Amino acid sequence: MRKLLILTLLLTTQGYAFSEESQLKNKHFTRACGLVATSPQYQAEQKYVEEYYKLQDLAGHDEYASSFVLGITFKTINAKTLRTGLPWASVCEEYLREDFAEDLVN
């Protein structure tokens, strides 16, 4: 009985740890930034926040970033796009790769 209890605990904790592992890949950044870039301008910031939260889910995060902070990040991406002339999606991907560097699965 004791061995069964220990085995059950081990399997339960391993399953929980496995479900929390990151599933985040570069293609997720490309998809998220592409969706935001093709959104109407008045909806783009909200779409960025929604996609960021989806990426956090894929990364297995327990806590979510503040929508206020993500709004500032969105504006920063816009400013860098205007300053450098780079496509919005590529600047967005750069920021997301930096934010999720430790969660990225190859």
- pTM of the predicted structure, to 2 decimals: 0.78
Rg of the chain on CA atoms, in Å: 18
Is residue 4 pLDDT above 70, yes or no? no
Question: How confident is residue 13, by pLDDT bands cut at 50, 70 and 90?
Answer: very low
pLDDT value of residue 12: 44
Q: Are 53 and 64 in contact (CB under 8 A)?
A: yes
pLDDT value of residue 20: 64
Question: How confident is residue 1, by pLDDT bands cut at 50, 70 and 90?
Answer: low
Q: What is the pLDDT of residues 15-59, one digit of tens each?
A: 444 446 788 999 999 999 999 999 999 999 999 999 999 999 999
